[in-house]
Amino acid sequence: MKASAVGSIIIFLSVPVLGVEPASSEKPGKPGKPGLLPPKAKLVLDEDWSSGKIDPKRWYALRKKWGQDNFGVVPENVALVRDVVGGKRQRVLRCEAHGDQYAGPITGQWKRKKRVGGVLVSRQHFASGRFEVMMKIGSAANPRPKGIVPAIWTYGYRAVSVPAKLSDNFSRGEPLYHPYLQKWGKGQAFYWSELDFPEYGKGGKFDRPMYNTFLNSKHLPLTFDVHGAADGRYHTYTTEWRTGLVPIKGVKDSQVAKAKGFYWIQDKAVDFGLYFGNPLKRLGRDRYAVCSGLTARHWIDNRFIGENTVFVPSMSGQLNLGVWLPKWAGPAPWKTAAVYFARIRVWQYDDPGDVLGILTEDITDNFGKDGQPLRR
């Protein structure tokens, strides 16, 4: 999730450009219904909210603002309520949104009442696997509240810094620093892993939500027809994320440094378009493979929706559920709306291209209960 969803994109195909098959032994399932889970798949999250509380060991709610012309998301807009799912009344997660006409007690950044949403984040970081989320947008009376962005996404990040005077080159003292990943200023490199599956509501529209991929400094937004899934009813959103090892030719031992269990390019002579800042695994003397994201395939109610094959991340991310109200979603001419989440399950595949243990931080709040920005 980011401040601006779509921009001018120059596409550099990752795996197809390399012209090799992934080194992993398993290939993703064919489009159609989701296939059988791989034998190595492990169920690592199964949440149905039946305990009656949001477990703080599993989840945390954000107090954070990003994007333009909105006032963030707050924990006060995240709660468990009862709803009817599949004919049965049960507890579900409700993430509330406050529109342009809201005048209630809950406030966001700068103590503003309007355009404030709610987002819940998993404590755990996930990589390759299957994600299954039951989500309902709005209500039967208002299934498409214009101005909101309901979304399911994974997100992970890490900032790596060196002194500004050293910013244009690699740093043996900080092997994770990459001069091509500078984002917030000189010497400030930023690793970014994100999959959106999906992100509804751009321009107040819900028929073709965005299924975006973010791989460090690269980003590709796609939209897919979801066949009217924004209808005020629960639907099961399934995404299968696969990674693999893609051999990279010509990289020598002298051009990399080992850190945190991976190998990191340290030479500008290596074409950035062959690895995009991803770490490598060593296959032998002067032989390496890139830890690469391969595909993210998407279904709704077992109906194949589409797939991402470009700029798919391999680094892990936390699962985010919720709703926010950025400028690009358009006006929100109502008081309150909500997005609901019933059962959530995540299986991890432990694909060979997974990069775990690098992006490990929780997403940080950036304003306090008083609405004032936090100083760090």
pLDDT at 375: 86
Give tens-digit pLDDT for 307-354: 999 999 999 999 999 999 999 999 999 999 999 999 999 999 999 999
pLDDT at 208: 98
Q: What is the pTM of this model?
A: 0.91
Is 329 contained in some domain?
yes
DSSP character string of 306-332: EEE-SS---B-EEEEEEEE--GGG---
CATH number for position 240: 2.60.120.200
Task: Write out the two tokens for 273.
Answer: 């378009």
* Residue 227 to residue 76: CA distance in whole angstroms: 32
Mean pLDDT of 12-41: 56
Torsion on CA atoms 368, 372, 373, 374, rounded to nearest 10: -50
Among residues of the chain, what percentage have pLDDT more than 70? 92
What does the mean pLDDT of the chain come to? Answer: 92
Evaluate whether 315 touches 68 at the Cβ level (below 8 Å).
no
Is 76 contained in some domain?
yes
Give tens-digit pLDDT for 159-197: 999 999 999 999 989 999 999 999 989 999 999 999 999
User: Residue 327 is part of which domain span?
Assistant: 16-26+38-348
Single-letter code of the amino acid located at 206? F
Domain count of the fold of the chain: 1
Is 138 contained in some domain?
yes
